[in-house]
Amino acid sequence: MTPLRRRMIEELQRHNYSQSTIDSYISSVKEYAKYFHKSPDLLGAEEVRRYQLYLINDKKLSAQTVKVRMSALRFFYWKTIKRRDIYFDDLPLPKTPKKLPTVLSPEEIVQLIGAALSLMHRTILIFLYATGIRRAELCRLKLGDIDSKRMVIRIEQGKGRRDRDIPMTPLVLEALRKYWLHARSKVYLFPSPQIANEPEKPDFIKNSLECCP
């Protein structure tokens, strides 16, 4: 790891960014440097402008993706190496279009849940629909986060690194109990396939949840 990359990681950690954001920002700056075949601290406003046009016109990335890339460059130049010759006007953030979400009807929700290939997938779909929990938060849930007495689910260090409680319906609790009797997990609610003699790990389900919000 180069000293420059280590410095950026340390600054991101110092500003309390999540690990996923750190990984995304580091990857974005790495791709930027790779495009010009130079260390990013040797590049300036003109290169930033050309790179943004490349992302929009050649790569045809979405406005949200371009926004993340530019936010990473903003942090690199302003917070990591303290460059004041590059202004915010040189690091514009594209406006992302606001669209109304697609809302499924109750009949479509029943059909979606009924099409689940396994009890685990069915429970996950019920959980996501009934609680509005984020997928990454669901994957990290532990058995101890389910409070059946208070009928709440404890989310630790969710988005923004905040803890919160969300209400749980009797239907969700019933689905979780039925699933647990089948899975018998010990730590995580939805653990990854366990290797012998290794502790449980959260299952960051990629393919099976691609259809889920």
Q: pLDDT digits over 116-174, tens only?
A: 888 888 888 888 888 888 887 888 888 888 888 899 988 887 666 678 888 988 988 99
Do 137 and 196 sit in the same domain of this protein? yes
Do 116 and 157 sit in the same domain of this protein? yes
Statement: residue 113 has pLDDT above 90: no
Do 144 and 208 sit in the same domain of this protein? yes
Task: Give me the CATH number covering residue 128.
Answer: 1.10.443.10
Do 34 and 133 sit in the same domain of this protein? no
Q: What is the 3-state secondary structure (H, E, C) of the chain?
A: CCHHHHHHHHHHHHCCCCHHHHHHHHHHHHHHHHHHCCCHHHCCHHHHHHHHHHHHHHCCCCHHHHHHHHHHHHHHHHHHCCCCCCCHHHCCCCCCCCCCCCCCCHHHHHHHHHCCCCHHHHHHHHHHHHHCCCHHHHHCCEHHHEECCCCEEEECCCHHHCCEEEECCHHHHHHHHHHHHHHCCCCECCECCCCCCCCCCECCCCCCCCCCC
Statement: residue 211 has pLDDT above 90: no
Task: State residue 200's pLDDT score.
Answer: 57
CA atoms of 40 and 140, how far apart (whole Å): 35
pLDDT tens figures, 50-84:
999 999 999 999 888 999 999 999 999 999 999 88
Do 189 and 144 sit in the same domain of this protein? yes
- What domain range is 37 assigned to? 3-90
pTM beyond cutoff 0.75: no
- The DSSP bridge pattern shows strands 146-147 and 152-155 to be antiparallel
Q: Is residue 53 part of a domain?
A: yes
Task: Name the amino acid, one letter, at 174.
Answer: E
Q: Is residue 95 part of a domain?
A: no
Task: State residue 30's pLDDT score.
Answer: 96
> What pLDDT band is residue 193 in, cutting at 50, 70 and 90?
low
C-alpha atoms less than 13 angstroms from C-alpha of 27 in its C-beta half-sphere? 9
When divided into structural domains, the chain yields a total of 2
> What pLDDT band is residue 207 in, cutting at 50, 70 and 90?
very low
Q: Is residue 141 part of a domain?
A: yes
Do 111 and 208 sit in the same domain of this protein? yes
> What pLDDT band is residue 194 in, cutting at 50, 70 and 90?
low
Statement: residue 29 has pLDDT above 60: yes
Task: State residue 18's pLDDT score.
Answer: 85
